[in-house]
Structure 1
Amino acid sequence: MIDRVIWIVLDSVGIGAMPDAAKYGDEGSNTVGNISKFLGGLKLPNMEKLGLGNIDGISGVNKVENPIGCYGRFEELSNGKDTTTGHWEMSGVVLEQAFPTYPNGFPKEVVDKFEKAIGRKIIGNKPASGTVIIDELGEEHIKTGSPIVYTSADSVFQIAAHEDVIPLETLYEMCKTARNMLKGEHAVARVIARPFVGEVGNFTRTPNRRDFSIVPPHEIVLDILKKNNLNVMAVGKIEDIFSGRGITEAVHTKDNMDGVDQTLNYMKQDKKGLIFTNLVDFDMKWGHRNDAEAYGRGLEAFDKRLKEIVEAMRESDVLFITADHGCDPTMPGTDHSREYVPFLAYGKELKANINLGTRKGFGDMGQTVADIFSIEPIKNGKSFLNEIIKK
Structure 2
Amino acid sequence: MRHYKRVFLIVTDSLGIGAMPDADRYGDQGSDTLGHIDGAVESLRLPNLERLGLGNLHPLRHVQAVKHPLARYASLMEASAGKDTMTGHWEMMGLRTTTPFQTFTENGFPAELLEELSKRTGHRIIGNKSASGTEILDELAEQEIATGDMIVYTSADSVLQICGNEETFGLAELYRCCEIARELTLRDEWKVGRVIARPYIGRKKGEFVRTANRHDYALKPGGPTALNALKDRGLDVISVGKIFDIFDGEGLTESNKSKSSVHGMEQTIEIAGRDFNGLCFVNLVDFDALWGHRRNPAGYAAELERFDGKLGELMEKIGDDDLLMITADHGNDPTYSGTDHTREMVPFLAYSPSMDGGGALARQESFAVNGATVAENFGVEMPEGTIGASVLGELG
Q: TM-score, normalised by structure 2?
A: 0.95
**Distance (whole Å) between structure 2 residues aligned to residue 360 and residue 191 of structure 1:** 30
Q: Is the 8 A contact 1:56 1:358 kept in 2?
A: no
1:314 deviation in Å?
2.4
Instruction: In structure 1, give the amino acid aligned to 2:237.
Output: V
Match of residue 316, structure 1, among 312, 317, 321: 321
Partner amino acid, structure 2, of 1:62: Q
Q: Partners in 2 of 1:155 and 1:345 — Cα distance?
A: 30
Q: Aligned letter for 2:93?
A: S
Q: CA deviation at 1:353?
A: 1.8
Alignment partner, residue 271 of structure 2: 266
Q: Which runs of 5+ in 1 are unaligned?
A: none
Q: Letter of the 1:364 partner, please give it.
A: V
Q: Which residue of 1 aligns with 2:258?
A: 253
Partners of 2:361 and 2:58 in 1: how far apart? 9
The amino acid across from 2:71 in the alignment is G
Give the secondary structure class of the aligned counterpart of 2:168: coil
**CA positional deviation for 1:56:** 5.4
Which residue does the alignment assign to 2:110? 107
- What is the aligned partner in structure 2 of residue 82 from structure 1? 84
The answer to which of 252-261 and 111-120 deviates more is: 111-120
- The alignment status of 1:187 with 2:194, answered yes or no, reads no
Q: In 1, are the aligned partners of 2:145 and 2:203 still within 8 Å (CA)?
A: no
Structure 1 residue 135 and structure 2 residue 142: aligned?
Answer: no
Q: 2:125 aligns with which of 104, 115, 122?
A: 122
Q: Which moved more, 1:213-222 or 1:158-167?
A: 158-167
Q: Aligned with 1:26: secondary structure?
A: coil
| Residues 1:190 and 1:351: Cα distance change in structure 2 (over 3 Å) | farther
Could you tell me which amino acid in structure 2 is paired with residue 384 of structure 1?
A: V
Aligned AA (1:254) = K
8 Å CA contact retained: 1:159, 1:192: yes
CA deviations on 1:97-135 (whole Å, 9 max, x unpaired) are: 100111211112211221122121111111111111111
Q: 1:294-333, aligned counterparts within 5 Å? A: 294-333=299-338
What displacement does 1:169 show? 2.2
Name 1:2's counterpart in structure 2. 4
What pairs with 1:51-90 in structure 2 (closer than 5 Å)?
51-55=53-57, 61-90=63-92
**1:60–1:88 distance in 2 versus 1, CA, 3 Å:** farther
Alpha-carbon separation, structure 1, partners of 2:297 and 2:58: 23
Q: Runs of 5+ in structure 2 lacking a partner?
A: none
Task: Tell me the residue number matched to 2:391.
Answer: 384
Aligned counterparts of 1:368 and 1:352: Cα–Cα separation in 2: 18
Please give the alpha-carbon distance, in whole angstroms, between the structure 2 residues aligned to 1:18 and 1:41.
27
User: Structure 1 residue runs of 4+, over 4 Å off?
Assistant: 56-60
Shift of 1:173: 2.0
Deviation track 1:331-390 (CA, whole Å, cap 9, x = no partner) reads: 1211111111111110134342231132111011111110000001241111111111x3
Coordinate RMSD, CA, aligned: 1.4
**CA shift in 2, pair 1:59/1:232, >3 Å:** farther
The alignment of Structure 1 onto Structure 2 pairs a total of residues equal to 389
Asked if the contact 2:8–2:325 (Cα under 8 Å) also holds between the matched residues in 1, the reply is: yes
Supply the AA of the counterpart residue of 1:3: K
Report how far residue 58 of structure 1 moved.
6.3
Whether the aligned pair in 1 keeps the contact of 2:266 and 2:310 (CA below 8 Å) is no
Q: Which residue of 2 aligns with 1:288?
A: 293
Structure-1 residue corresponding to 2:339:
334
Cα deviation 1:193-250 (Å, max 9, x = unaligned): 1111123222121222111110001110110110000011110111001000011111
Q: Could you tell me how far 1:184 is from its partner in structure 2?
A: 3.2
- What percentage of residue pairs aligned between the two structures are identical? 48
Per-residue deviation, 1:61 = 2.7
Take 1:146 and 1:242, find their aligned partners in 2: how far apart are those partners? 31
Map of 2:170 onto structure 1: 167
Which of 160-169 and 87-96 deviates more?
Answer: 160-169
